[in-house]
Structures are given as C-alpha cells and as structure tokens.
Amino acid sequence: VKPNLLGQTEDQLRQWLSVHKKPGFAAQQIIDWLYVKGCRSFEEMSNLSKALRSELAAQFTIDLPSLALSQTSRDGTVKFLCEFGDGKQVESVLLTHEDHHTLCVSTQVGCAMGCKFCRTATMGLVRHLDASEIVGQVLLAQQILGPDKRLRNLVFMGMGEPFHNYDNLIRSLEILLNPKGLDYSWRRITVSTSGLTEAIVRFWEETSVKAMLAISLNGVTQEARQLLMPVTKKNHLEDLIETCRQLPLEKRQRITFEYILLADVTDDAKSAKQLVALLNGIKAKVNLIPFNPDPALPFKAPSAEKVREFQNILTGRGLLATVRKSRGQDVGAACGQLASENQTVTSN
Ligand code: SF4
C-alpha cells in the first residue's frame, strides 16, 4: 500500500525529496498545495516539475477518509462517521457555538484503556490511526463546514487514548501546527489523556509540537479512580498529580481536569472537597461532565442539583470549574458515547 501524502510531515517530505535528489523547497510547495489550496491531485500541482509530480504519484496517494454517515442534532452538533481505506470507521463530532467550530478528533479505532464509564471502551482497541487518518478527520470536517467557516479548535477527545498512539499523534500535530500549512494555534488544540504519566512528561519535552493538556481525572483517590479507570493501576494518582504540578506551564496556561459526575459514585460533596485539595497548587481548571445515560453502562446521570452543588463547592473554594453542556445527545455524540454501531466489537 502506498503511503498517504497527507500524513507526511514537512521533515519527512524534505527527507524524501533529498533521497530522490529533488530540491528541498518543493516540500513547502507541496504543503501549500495540499493544505492551503486544498489540492487533491498531483496533476494540479503546476509549479512542481513534471518529473517530480510523476514520482510523487508513483509513491504516494492523496486520500481523505470518506464520509460514511452524517447526522445533525437539534442543537447543530454534527456527528459523522469517517471511513478509512480498510473500511474501519471512527466517529467524529463537530460542535458549533456561535461562530466557533470545534472538532472532537479520534486517534484510535476503539480504545484499550477500559474506562468503565465510556462507551468506546466496550469496543476494545481495534487499531491505531496513522497521521494521515488523524489529519484526514480535520480536513473532512472543514469540508463539511464549507469554505466560509473556519474550523479553529480541535480537541483530541474522540475515540482512543492519544498518548497510546504517540508517534502518530506527534506527526499529526506537526502537520496541523505547521504555519505554512494548516496553521492551527497550539492554544486551540487540546490533547486529552487518561493520565499516562510518562507520556505526559515526554510530550512536554517535545520541541516540535505543543498543545493544551486535559487530564481525564474522574476520581479523587487512588482507590476511587482505579475502580473507574484501570489505567490508574500503573499510573498512580499521586504521581500523575505531582507530574502535573511540575510541568512548566506558559503564562495563562492551565491544565484542564475533566471530572465525570456519576450519580452516587463521583458526585458527592466530599469528593468535591477532596478534588479542591488534590489540585491545590496546580494552575488548573475543572470541566465537570454530567454522565449521559447509556443502556450499555451501569451508571446513572446526576441530578441537576448535585451538579450545581458540586460546581459551587469548587468555585466557592477558588477553583475554576465549568459544567460541560451535553450537546448532540439525540444523535449519540456526547462525551463517552462514541462507539460505532457498524463496527465489529472486540474485547480487550
Ligand atoms: S474515556 Fe477515553 S481513554 Fe477512557 S476508554 Fe474512553 S476513549 Fe479510552
């Protein structure tokens, strides 16, 4: 199978050009054609030599994932199925708030992390997405939005644990952040992790990419978190929090901690107070996520009153806390509801 040109970073393109004795500046021209002009055929790349065009065509494809299904919810949320060359699919969710458009990006088909409150977890890990498939979701979403609207915000919170697919995550971020190409701002890209401590440190040391960080926390003690998130066994809560505390954040940068509110499991006042104590000394903000009921999962949604009470405890103690409005619920596009019904379900 030929590699997809859309998944090549600028460095990879330069290397390829140098091996093929072609001028390095062509990398920039290719990036311009692909991401600025939106060109999808080698023939159209008219400022490249004919020889280069035919060599590229012999070695690469330019493939976007195809749009297998798209549903628009009453609140304007678009859920769509991206299908890749091998027929595997991921769900992507496009949220619109006034003129801000945010895409929830997937990094894997399924997920191996096994979080108990998550629909995707029930699929197990089917496979990693490569960089072209990650970037492809963004390009497809932009196509759905049309030329007059610009997709600017990306949250890596779809299917999969981004840091479990580390190299492809980094490559896709390099492509998305390239100022000569798609030119996303790192402050508008959030990578959300279930808390793989080593990978967080490694990510922070990367020189080629940056992004905002979100930690899916969901438990305030080692025991409580471990019950919901098996990943906690190897990535102890204490180490995770200490790692976050040590990260050299930029000015105005905060780490987002996502906390799912499950009725009678995580929504009590004691947990709220413990959460404040746990995050003490970290430049943090908390995003509370009221659970969306799902027949496949053994949890209940919290009452509106409990949600308000939990939030008030945090904000009353000086911790910035927002409640995620559940959107797109009628099409199954809310957080933790991503699991493709068309997919063969495998187990971990
Ligand atoms: S919440 Fe995220 S990390 Fe956990 S199983 Fe679901 S997709 Fe994977």
Q: How far apart are CA 163 and CA 184, in angstroms?
A: 20
Q: How far apart are CA 236 and CA 226, in angstroms?
A: 9
Give the pLDDT score at 325. Answer: 81
Which regions of the chain are under pLDDT 70?
A: 326-348
Euclidean distance between the first and final Cα of the chain, in Å? 28
Tens of pLDDT, residues 290-337? 998 888 899 999 999 999 999 999 999 999 999 988 666 665 555 555
Active site residue 91: yes
Give the pLDDT score at 125. Answer: 97
Q: Whose CA is nearest to atom 4 of ligand 1?
A: 115
Give the pLDDT score at 97. Answer: 84
Q: Is the CB of 258 under 6 A from ligand 1?
A: no
Active site residue 82: no
> Of 183, 101, 184, whose CA–CA distance to 143 is shortest?
101
Helices 131-145 and 166-177: angle between axes, nearest 10 degrees: 40
Q: Is the CB of 337 under 6 A from ligand 1?
A: no
Give the pLDDT score at 330. Answer: 61
Q: For the whole prediction, is pTM greater than 0.85? A: yes
Give the pLDDT score at 294. Answer: 86
Question: Which numbered atom of ligand 1 lies nearest the CA of 158?
Answer: 7
Q: How far apart are CA 120 and CA 126, in angstroms?
A: 11
Q: Which of 115, 118, 244, 335 is catalytic?
A: 335
Give the pLDDT score at 338. Answer: 54
Give the pLDDT score at 336. Answer: 54
Q: Which of 10, 82, 83, 91 is catalytic?
A: 91
> 244: CA distance to ligand 1 center in Å?
20
Give the pLDDT score at 333. Answer: 52
Give the pLDDT score at 340. Answer: 47
> 258: CA distance to ligand 1 center in Å?
12
